[in-house]
Amino acid sequence: MRDSRGREANDSLEELGLLVDTAGGVVAGHLLQKRESISPRTFLGRGKLEELKGLIGRDSIDVAVFDEDLSPGQVRNLEKELGIKVVDRSEVILHIFALRAKSSEARVQVELAQLEYQLPRLTRLWKHLSRLGGGIGTRGPGETQLEVDRRRVREKIGSLKKQLAGVEKERSVQRKKRENAFRVAIVGYTNAGKSTLFRVLTETEVFVEDRLFATVDATTRRLGSIRAPSTVITDTVGFIKKLPHHLVTSFHATLEEVVQADLLLHVVDSSSSRAAQQAATVEDVLVTMQAGGKPVIIVLNKIDLAEEEALQSLRYQFPSAVEISALKRVNIDALTERILEAVRQRRVLVTVEIPLSEKRLLSHLRESCEFVEERTLTDRVSIQCWAGSDEVGRLSRRGFPVRFG
């Protein structure tokens, strides 16, 4: 392709192919149209429309997937012209999310996004049904079937939103409990290796698959593998270009974990030829979420697969990145050291002496501070540790002299 716009469109189409594959479809072929020739009625110009019809006839295709969002009218006209089902990128992504949603929270989030997507498109669905007539007594005076159905969908949306508000409240209670904790969120393009890294860092099992959007649920755990007490880490849903905005709104509570984080690990698939563009997309999404100014560690993942030349170029773009392979567990120590550094920046090194009889206080300190040195004297312990301001305050209030350093 000569121009960068063409390359971008091709990349986007290739990604759409992966999305279709993840949604369970098989890609039979593709077609690219120059932007200048977009027709408001059918999106495709006359020539392209005929070309597509040829493809459909030749390969007995069931669905035409468009990379751009189509208006309800365009879908209607295209379906009439082509005689097959027409869907756009948003619908494919929504479908994948629906397949992948495991927790009841994620299910509600997806259902809400689907309904909000469908609401303006109801006309198409119900036009012929309304002619069949609705049940007796369901229609208000002067209400058409379409209006009844719109009202029902709006009511359903309202009740789902209420449910989600409940979930959001519960999440914020959970967050409050972790208020003293240092919060790390893993972000990145879909399939970059976030869940794999999460698994390595927390030493737990989470769902990993070489598919787009294997994870749509946010999971938060304690950071297990490193000596960073009171540090929790969240695995998040992947970002992608042109993520339907209904989804972003519905997953607000989940994404809130990102907004609230003290540190972001931005995982980049260094083996992807689109690594730089994907990282840029993620950065854009972070900015729109107002999480653009957070401390970030760029994690160049999958170095076991990456070409040296590509890695060099990524190093140039992200000079302070940590290079790892989450799958092969390469260089994980360097990453955990970087996380620890960030945790320490929020803490101070203190030395304090605690009587051995203060068992509860001692065990609390063990849980919440990073111990550097611990010496048992006759009736007390001398501890040097990295402590957060809450712990320092608590120790001072209890009358234990705290020495800095």
Contacts with ligand GDP, residue ranges (CB under 6 A)? 188, 190-196, 208-210, 214-215, 238, 301-302, 304-305, 325-328
Pick 74 or 215: Cβ nearer ligand GDP? 215
Strands 348-355, 402-404: pairing is: antiparallel
What is the closest distance, in whole angstroms, from the C-beta atom of residue 392 to Mg ion in the complex?
A: 37
CB of 305 to ligand GDP, least distance (A): 4
Whichever of 212 and 387 has its CB closer to Mg ion, that residue is: 212
Question: Could you tell which of ligand GDP, Mg ion, none binds residue 244, using a CB distance below 5 to 8 A set by kind?
Answer: none
Three-state SS at 142: coil
Which alpha helices (DSSP H) does 178-291 contain, by range?
A: 194-202, 245-250, 252-259, 275-288
Q: Report yes or no: 56 and 23 within 8 Å, Cβ to Cβ.
A: no
Which one of Mg ion, ligand GDP, none interacts with residue 294, CB within 5 to 8 A by kind?
none
Q: Which residue is associated with the tokens 């698959």?
A: 209
Using CB under 5 A as the criterion, which residues of the chain lie in contact with Mg ion when the complex forms? 194-195, 214-215
Whole-number minimum distance, CB 214 to Mg ion, in Å?
5
Burial track 110-142 (b if 16+ CB lie within 10 A, e otherwise): bbbbbbbbbeebbeeebeeebeeebeeeeeeee
Contact between 373 and 384 under an 8 Å Cβ cutoff? The reply is yes
* Distance (Å, whole) CA 253 – CA 248: 10
Residue with smaller CB distance to ligand GDP, 112 or 214: 214
**4-22 helix and 89-100 helix, angle to the nearest 10 degrees:** 40
CB of 199: closest distance to ligand GDP in angstroms? Answer: 8
Nearer to ligand GDP, 38 or 327 (CB): 327
Q: Which of ligand GDP, Mg ion, none interacts with 209 (beta carbon under 5 to 8 A by kind)? A: ligand GDP
Give helix 332-345 / helix 194-202 axis angle, nearest 10°: 80
For residue 148, the SS3 value is helix
**Six token digits for residue 218:** 């946010």
- For ligand GDP, the closer CB: 197 or 395: 197
63 binds, among ligand GDP, Mg ion, none (CB under 5 to 8 A by kind): none
Decide whether 14 or 147 has the Cβ nearer to ligand GDP. 14
Report, in Å, the least distance between residue 81 CB and ligand GDP.
37
191 binds, among ligand GDP, Mg ion, none (CB under 5 to 8 A by kind): ligand GDP
What is the Cα–Cα distance from 107 to 117, expressed in whole angstroms?
15
Please, what is the minimum distance in Å from the beta carbon of residue 185 to ligand GDP? Answer: 13
φ, ψ of residue 50 to 5 degrees: the values are -65, -40
Q: Angle of helix 308-317 relative to helix 275-288, nearest 10 degrees?
A: 30
Q: Which is nearer to ligand GDP, 122 or 305 (CB)?
A: 305
SS3 of 275-308: the string is HHHHHHHHHHHHHHCCCCCCCEEEEEECCCCCCH
| Shortest distance, position 324 Cβ to ligand GDP, whole Å | 7
Minimum CB distance to Mg ion, residue 14 (Å): 20
Q: Which does 64 bind (CB under 5 to 8 A by kind): ligand GDP, Mg ion, none?
A: none
Q: Which of 385, 388, 361, 367 is nearest to 375 (CA)?
A: 385
Q: Smallest gap, in angstroms, from Cβ of residue 373 to ligand GDP?
A: 35
Other beta carbons within 10 angstroms of residue 179's beta carbon come to: 9
Closer by beta carbon to ligand GDP, 230 or else 272: 272
Q: Tokens 């697969």 correspond to what residue?
A: 305
- Cβ proximity to Mg ion: between 52 and 237 the closer is 237
305 binds, among Mg ion, ligand GDP, none (CB under 5 to 8 A by kind): ligand GDP
Packed helices 122-132 and 145-177: angle between N→C axes, nearest 10 degrees: 140
State the nearest-atom distance from the C-beta of 329 to ligand GDP, in Å: 8
DSSP state of 37: G
Nearer to ligand GDP, 200 or 343 (CB): 200
